[in-house]
Amino acid sequence: MNSLIILFVLPLLIIFSYLFDAFARKTKFPSVILLMFTGVIVRSITAAYGFEDFGFLDDLIPVLGTIGLILIVLEGALELEIRKEKLPLILKGFLAALVLLILNIIALHWVFVNLLKMTSQLATLSAIPLAIISSAVAIPSAAGFLKQDREFIVYESTFSDILGIMIFNYALRQFEVKEALVGITPLASLFLQILGVIVISLAITYVLFQLLRQIDHHVKFFLILALLILVYAFGKLFHLPALVTIFIFGIFLSNVKSLLPRFLKNYLDLDHTEKELHEFHILTAESTFIVRTFFFLFFGFSIQLSDFNTSQPLFYGALIVLVMLALRYIYFSVTTFRLKPSSLTYMSPRGLISILLFVQLNEVSFIDLSNSPIDERVLLVVILSSMLVMLIGTLKKPSPKEESITSDFEPETPVTLDLNIDIPELPDNDSEEPLN
């Protein structure tokens, strides 16, 4: 392809992505869908002009997706404030991510084994990617929500990403050595591994923070991003949950004042540090925007509409989405004591993580995917359907009385057993100083 054409196409795609993002903020229509359809259209145009050799996308898409995942988790963590009064909200986000993830895996495993006649191993490894909420889609789509609802979505989707990848790698390792998934020894080993990763993550966070403070070179933020990607690569090499490191690093940077011990604050110029962290956040957000844009554009570009020559992928995809939606509806109904939960019920889009893990699954030698009914076509249907469900469920403008996490977790009528943890209403003021 002519280089001049590329110079025209690439900036136009970025401009279109910016317009899609602005449109999404106004209408709540996921910009990701528009990006993927743009990729499909561009693929059709290039095919009409005789360009058919796009094998490089098989290697490019996983790389872009991984970098996008790192940046998205980092950006989400940088936006979170850790305060004592927010701990219940963090706990609710974590529990929602963990419980729904496990329930979805169990339910989809049963459907795949009993209805689609898949082997137990293949059913488990196919169910895990489909059970994970995509923070790459959920976080931008929650921009118009109330502050507490938006923060809940950030916590839930981020925890879902991290936990989902950990469970997927754990399952792969157990199946590879032909050991059971559930057992005292493997679960204890997993728990110790997580503790070890947390300790290592804290040490890496401290080192990176010191580098961020002490480097005088005018280019240093991209150095930090490069080191984070390197940390993730090492974690993946040794089958460790490296996303935990990214998340902890982001949380620490966004809450330096509240997390640093008092005696260390006397040795730091916190005002200057906060200014640099703000600049780092801007760089991260814009880098995330670029990487996410081209990931979903290339993913859409890799789709050939001719592959959808049967209704089977549509049926399987719709079945999976219905199972996930039913479980999420039941969960929020039970935990909120309401038969009509809020718009949060519909905020469970699938996307980047599901694609990445499916790509990784194709590289596993001991699993045969040649005759699997759950393929990339089904994955695409699930992604698009879950996004459309999210769109339909959030069309109604939320109001503070009916849509806040706080009110959702309060029972409508007095009950004897009260599982609610009250979250005090906070003023929507981002400039408020965090508690020490």
C-alpha span between 256 and 300 (Å, rounded): 40
Residue ranges covered by each domain of the chain: 3-408
Least confident of 8-22, 270-284, 377-391, 393-407: 393-407
Mean pLDDT of 115-143: 87
140-162 confidence digits (pLDDT tens): 777 777 778 888 888 898 888 88
Among residues 333, 331, 369, 273, the alpha carbon closest in space to that of 133 is found at: 331
Beta-strand ranges (E) seen in 353-400 are none
Instruction: Select the highest-mean-pLDDT range: 17-26, 78-87, 186-195.
Output: 17-26
Mean pLDDT of 2-25: 82
Looking at per-residue pLDDT, the higher value among 103 and 46 belongs to: 103
Write the single-letter amino acid at 368: D
Torsion region of 130: left, alpha or beta (phi above 0 gives left; psi -120 to 50 gives alpha): alpha
Instruction: Quickly state the pLDDT bin for 420 (edges 50, 70, 90).
Output: very low
Mean pLDDT of 161-188: 81
Determine the 3-state secondary structure of 308 from DSSP: coil
Mean pLDDT of 330-342: 80
- Could you please report the per-residue DSSP string of 62-105? HHHHHHHHHHHHHHHHHT----GGGHHHHHHHHHHHHHHHHHHH
Per-residue pLDDT, 196: 81
Among residues 165, 169, 168, 142, the alpha carbon closest in space to that of 155 is found at: 142
Per-residue pLDDT, 113: 93
Is 219 buried (19+), middle (13-18) or exposed (0-12) by CB count in 10 A?
exposed
Please determine, for residue 431, whether its predicted confidence score (pLDDT) is greater than 50: no
Among residues 81, 359, 64, the alpha carbon closest in space to that of 229 is found at: 64
Per-residue pLDDT, 403: 46
Looking at per-residue pLDDT, the higher value among 162 and 54 belongs to: 162
Per-residue pLDDT, 270: 60
Least confident of 108-112, 237-241, 353-357: 237-241
Per-residue pLDDT, 268: 59
Residue 144, token pair as written in the block = 């118009």
Looking at per-residue pLDDT, the higher value among 137 and 395 belongs to: 137
Write the single-letter amino acid at 370: S
Q: How far is CA 272 from CA 276, 278, 281, in A?
A: 6, 10, 14
Instruction: Quickly state the pLDDT bin for 178 (edges 50, 70, 90).
Output: confident
Q: What does pTM read for this prediction?
A: 0.79
C-alpha span between 266 and 390 (Å, rounded): 47
Please determine, for residue 13, whether its predicted confidence score (pLDDT) is greater than 80: yes
C-alpha span between 297 and 65 (Å, rounded): 11
C-alpha span between 47 and 118 (Å, rounded): 35
Is 367 buried (19+), middle (13-18) or exposed (0-12) by CB count in 10 A?
middle
Per-residue pLDDT, 376: 83
- Residues near 27 by beta carbon (within 8 Å), at least 6 away in sequence: none
- Residues near 364 by beta carbon (within 8 Å), at least 6 away in sequence: 125, 172
**Half-sphere exposure of residue 185: CA atoms within 13 angstroms, side-chain side:** 3
Residue whose entry in the numeric block shows the structure tokens 């145009």: 45
Q: What is the DSSP letter of 227?
A: H
Instruction: Quickly state the pLDDT bin for 432 (edges 50, 70, 90).
Output: very low
pLDDT, averaged across the chain: 78
- Axis-axis angle for helices 243-254, 57-78 (nearest 10): 30
Under a CB-based contact definition with an 8 Å cutoff, are residues 173 and 62 in contact? Answer: no
Torsion region of 270: left, alpha or beta (phi above 0 gives left; psi -120 to 50 gives alpha): alpha
Write the single-letter amino acid at 287: S
Least confident of 114-128, 253-267, 317-331, 394-408: 394-408
Per-residue pLDDT, 111: 94
Per-residue pLDDT, 267: 55
291-324 confidence digits (pLDDT tens): 888 888 888 887 777 777 788 889 999 999 999 9
- Domain boundaries 3-408, CATH class: mainly alpha
Is 300 buried (19+), middle (13-18) or exposed (0-12) by CB count in 10 A?
buried
